[in-house]
Amino acid sequence: MSFPVHRMRRVRSTEALRSLVRETRLAPSQFILPLFVCPGEGVRKEIGSMPGNFQLSIDELVKECAEVKSLGIGGIILFGIPEVKDEMASGAYAESGIVQRALQALRAEVSGLLLITDVCNCEYTSHGHCGYVRGNEVDNDITLEWLAKSAVSHARAGADIVAPSDMMDGRVGAIRKALDEAGFPSTPILSYAAKYASVFYGPFREAAESAPQFGDRRSYQMDPSNAREALREIELDIAEGADMIMVKPAMPYLDIVRQARERFDLPLAAYQVSGEFSMIVAAAQNGWLDRNRAVLESLTAIRRAGADFTLTYFAKEAARLLA
C-alpha cells in the first residue's frame, strides 16, 4: 500500500514532529577540538589557511582549554610545533618537548577535558616526513621506536589518550607494548586506522608547519581509491590493541565510516580535516553557503554515517550553535 495512505510529509510538518522523529543528534561531548601548541608566551598566531584557528603558546592554550571545557566539548587533540626540527624528530619524544610541557600545564590547570595527543613525527622532522628517512624511503621499523617513545612521553606528561596518525605498519602494537612496559596499561589508543593520502590536509600543513620537503605521503597513507584496504587496516589495528578507531578525512569518506561502523564494534571516530573546514569557511565568506547550517549539516552527516565522535575545527562554534 502506498500513496495516499502513506504520506511521508505528515511527520515533517512541524518542528515538534521533526524533533520527535529525528534519528541523529549532535552533542558537544561528541566533539574533539584540534589545537596547535607552539613555543613562546602570549602567542596567539592565526593560521592563514584556517581562519579562527591559532598557533597557541602554552599559557594561551591553557586559557583556550578552559573555554573549550566550559562549552561542554569532549576533549582536545594536541599538535606540537617544536623550537627546532631535526632528522631524528627528537622533539617528538623529548621529555621536555612542546606537547609534553603543554600537557603538564594543562593537567595542572584544566580538569575534566580529555587530553588526546597526536602521535606522529612530521611536525618534528626537518624534512616533514612522518618517520626516519633512509635514502628516499621512510623506514617503518625505526619509526616505530620513535612513535613508542613519543606515546610513552605523552602518557607520562598526562595524556588521557594517545592517537597515532603516522600510518606505519605495526605502530599500534609497538605503542601498546611500550605503554604497558612503562606502567601505562590503562592509557587507551585511538588509532588513525584508515587514514588516506588526502589533498584535504593542505591547510593543516601550514598550521603545523609539516609539509613534506620532498615527495609525498603516498607510501604510507592510503590510496583514496581503496575501501576494502581500509577495513584491513582497521582489522589489523584492532588485533594490535587499538581501543578506538578513526577514519580520516570524514566527509569525502563517509562510505568508509559507514562500512567501519557496520563491521566493527569499537568506538569509531571521524576527523573532519582542515580542508573540509576551510572549504566551508571560504564558501561562507563568499556568501555562497550559510555557515551555521553548513557546520551543523556536515557534522550531522558524519554522525549519521556512523561516527561516535568527531574531531572538528568547528567544535566550539558547533557547541555554541547547539546551546
Residues that bind ligand PBG (CB under 6 A): 118, 120, 122, 130, 165, 201, 204-205, 217, 273-274
Cell of 86: 631535526
Cell of 149: 617513545
Q: Are 130 and 168 in contact (CB under 8 A)?
A: yes
User: Which DSSP helix (H) or strand (E) runs through 69?
Assistant: helix 58-70
Question: Shortest Cβ distance from residue 180 to ligand PBG (Å)?
Answer: 24
Annotated catalytic residue, options 85, 149, 195, 316: 195
User: Which DSSP helix (H) or strand (E) runs through 315?
Assistant: helix 315-322
Question: Shortest Cβ distance from residue 233 to ligand PBG (Å)?
Answer: 15
Question: Shortest Cβ distance from residue 217 to ligand PBG (Å)?
Answer: 6
b/e 237-255 (16+ beta carbons within 10 angstroms → b):
bbebbbbbbbbbbbbebbe
Report which of 59, 130, 160, 63 is spatially closest to residue 101, judged by C-alpha positions. Answer: 59
Closest to ligand PBG by CB, 113 vs 273, is 273
Q: For the packed helices 58-70 and 98-109, what is the interaxial angle rounded to 10 degrees?
A: 50
Side chain identity, residue 66:
A
Rounded to the nearest angstrom, the gap between the alpha carbon of residue 89 and the centroid of all alpha carbons in its chain is 20
Question: Shortest Cβ distance from residue 126 to ligand PBG (Å)?
Answer: 16
Closest to ligand PBG by CB, 201 vs 264, is 201
Closest to ligand PBG by CB, 143 vs 259, is 143
Question: Shortest Cβ distance from residue 255 to ligand PBG (Å)?
Answer: 19
Check if 248 is active-site: yes
What is the rounded CA–CA span in Å between residue 306 and residue 78?
Answer: 24
Annotated catalytic residue, options 85, 149, 248, 316: 248
Closest to ligand PBG by CB, 87 vs 262, is 87
Name the residue number minimizing CB distance to ligand PBG.
204
Closest to ligand PBG by CB, 25 vs 218, is 218
Q: Are 250 and 272 in contact (CB under 8 A)?
A: yes
Check if 63 is active-site: no
Handedness of CA 321, 165, 101, 81 (dihedral sign): negative
Rounded to the nearest angstrom, the gap between the alpha carbon of residue 321 and the centroid of all alpha carbons in its chain is 21
Closest to ligand PBG by CB, 59 vs 314, is 314
Question: Shortest Cβ distance from residue 19 to ligand PBG (Å)?
Answer: 32
Report which of 144, 277, 122, 146 is spatially closest to residue 215, judged by C-alpha positions. Answer: 122
**4 prior amide bond cis, ω within 30:** yes
Backbone φ/ψ region at 128: left (φ over 0), alpha (ψ -120 to 50), beta:
left
Active-site annotation, residues = 195, 248
